[in-house]
Amino acid sequence: MPADAQKGHVVLSAARKALEDDIAVHEQAIIDLKGRLNNMTTVARLPPELLSEIFLHLAEMSYNEVGSSYHPAYVSARFYAWVTVTHVCRSWRSVALSTPRLWGHIVLTRSSIVEDVLARSKKAPLRITGYLMSSHDEKAKMLKSIMQESSRIKELRLSGPASSFRDLFPKMMEPATILETVVLSDCSHGAPFINANDINQPMFRPELLPRMRELEIRRLIFRWDSYTLSPQITRLTLSGRLDSQSLLGTFGSLLSTLDQMPNLEHLELEDAIPRLPDTTKTLPAPERTLSFPRMRRLILVGTSLDCGNLLNHINVHSGMRPKVVCRGNNGSQELIRVFAAHVVRMDPLVTVQLSRGAYGGKLHVRGWQTLVEPTNPNPTVELQVDALACSALASYLVRDSKMFTKARVLRADAEDHDWRWKDVFAGMPDLRELSITGDPQDQFITAVSAPHKSKKHRPPTLVLPHLRVLKLTNTRLCSPDYDQPPEFLDRLEDWLIMRCNYNMPIDELHLTCCVNLTEEDVERLIEIVPYVKWDGIVEFESEEDDEEDEDDPYDYDDYDYDYYDDFYDDPWGIF
């Protein structure tokens, strides 16, 4: 290159660099001005301590959202989205990077991400969740690296094949002195490979986990006599496998293990109770009774006999909320008998729900100790029994258990179910509101119209003297052509008049989606009840529909759901 050309190139480069430097200065000045402008906003006036707490709350929300969902694509795509708040401005990023607790929420995704997050967490406690494909994949290697800092782990939630958890705790470098929550879930499909050494090997050593309070194990093969659990555990959830229940050990080992945990507040066992022989008809006498004075929630899922057997060994106190979900109908009577004998010590229920599954499915008895509105989507259930049993057993449970004497609201699904209304009402004398879905049949009117014996020297009265609200939904009030006297509507009208004569009127009558009801019928009811709420829906059945139903070979209306009717007079042989 000629000297003049080379000199011109140098001059041009110098001029270009000078312009670039001027641009950089102005860009920095604009950034500084924008930063000063941002500092004038309301959100920028938040103290850094408060801003870091907001970021921490956002990270916790994201972590909790994926805590029980171990799908790798979902975890990778969604969890670390909260990090975008650190890209809003320099001050926010500075606050986030100076908050180690914020980075203590770790989801096992890519190794580069986990390494950066782990480094930013410094010495903060760690909450870890992840999905392991195998014991040799990249996430398993990341977990082993993290476990070397086990003294910082506060919570560990993992899902994957059981083999990936085998050496998780026994080979820790140091005790997990602050670890409080452990959740392990085997998500593999099909039958597991059963290794006797794996079953008998203790996974949890109390000396390594001195502060563990919550333990949840799902679909892992275990034996009750191989578990040495900390007496400090307050929440225990064990969900077994139907294909490995024979490996659970003895029922005595289950009792011995639970007896070492007097501080339990929540106990959930699903297919984790050692089975009684299939030929068992009546439950054996309790070997001993376990007391858990702090327990607030008891959930048992399994066969009726096994759930009843364990329930028979637990002292149910007033503050406990039991939930029992059973499979099969063998032992249903025994379960209800034990349940009725134990829940008498619980606080009385205020709201009660009786229902059944379709085509003679499970019987559902649920109760709440407060007034629960139907619009409440997820009310906390204080009492729940789901078992394949006849409706008559629910009636006897209500009649003979003192838990229902203070009930003020009853909601019952009466479609094709005979609840033995007389027994139900005898166990709920204080009802204020009665809500019926479906056709309650003739026994309902007979039961609510029955006279009730009063105390000595007082005139007789009616059952449910405090009842003021009646709600009927999807109820067939009359036959299609009003040709089957007395119609249900006629008997209902007579009962309403009778209550007025006894000075116990029904103040509110709600009619929703009722069948074969006319405006004239509603006018008749308005003359008796001060407030009638009718949705205005007029729907009539036709005689042709009735004839078709009678000829339908798959008609379930006449199916005998109460297949224990032979025991109606005395289903347990003790009344």
pLDDT in tens, 121-144: 999 999 988 888 877 788 888 888
pLDDT bin (cut points 50, 70, 90) of residue 346 is: confident
Over range 449-459, report the average pLDDT.
68
Mean pLDDT of the chain: 80
Burial class (CB within 10 angstroms; exposed 0-12, middle 13-18, buried 19+) of 461:
middle
Q: Decide if pLDDT at 549 tops 60.
A: no
pLDDT in tens, 425-448: 989 999 999 999 998 877 888 888
pLDDT confidence of residue 568:
32
pLDDT bin (cut points 50, 70, 90) of residue 493 is: very high
pLDDT confidence of residue 170:
61
Task: State the amino acid at position 287 in one-letter form.
Answer: E
Over range 260-283, report the average pLDDT.
90
Strand partners, 511: 472, 534
Residue 452 C-beta-side C-alpha neighbours within 13 Å? 19
Number of helices and strands in the chain (H, E): 16, 19
* CA R_g for the chain: 33
Q: In 3-state terms, what secondary structure has residue 223? A: coil
More confident residue, 176 or 531: 531
Other CB atoms within a 10 A radius of the CB of residue 216 amount to: 18
Beta-carbon contacts of residue 460 (< 8 Å; ≥ 6 apart): 451, 452, 453, 454
Q: Decide if pLDDT at 77 tops 70.
A: no
Query: What is the C-alpha separation between 290 and 317, in angstroms, rounded?
Result: 11
Q: Which has the closest alpha carbon to 305: 393, 248, 419, 388?
A: 388
Alpha carbon distance, N-terminus to C-terminus of the chain: 116
pLDDT confidence of residue 51:
86
Q: Decide if pLDDT at 459 tops 80.
A: no
Query: What is the C-alpha separation between 566 and 571, in angstroms, rounded?
Result: 8
Most confident of 208-217, 371-380, 508-517: 508-517
Q: Which domains does the chain have, with CATH numbers?
A: 41-103 (no CATH), 408-541 (3.80.10)
Degrees to nearest 5, angle at CA 23 with 18 and 25: 95
Q: What percent of the chain has pLDDT above 90?
A: 26
Q: In 3-state terms, what secondary structure has residue 126? A: strand
What is this structure's pTM? 0.79
Beta-carbon contacts of residue 406 (< 8 Å; ≥ 6 apart): 348, 349, 350, 430
Q: For the chain, what percentages of helix, strand and coil (3-state, to nearest 5) are there? A: 40, 20, 45
**Residue 66 is encoded by which pair of tokens?**
């994926």
pLDDT confidence of residue 571:
32
Q: Decide if pLDDT at 200 tops 80.
A: no
pLDDT bin (cut points 50, 70, 90) of residue 150 is: confident
Over range 296-321, report the average pLDDT.
91
Q: What angle do helix axes 332-342 and 304-311 make, rounded to 10 degrees? A: 20
Distances in Å between the Cα of 524 and the Cα atoms of 164, 472, 500 are 71, 16, 15
pLDDT confidence of residue 414:
85
Query: What is the C-alpha separation between 188 and 166, in angstroms, rounded?
Result: 15
Other CB atoms within a 10 A radius of the CB of residue 524 amount to: 15
pLDDT bin (cut points 50, 70, 90) of residue 214 is: very high
pLDDT confidence of residue 572:
29
Over range 151-167, report the average pLDDT.
82
Q: What percent of the chain has pLDDT above 70?
A: 81
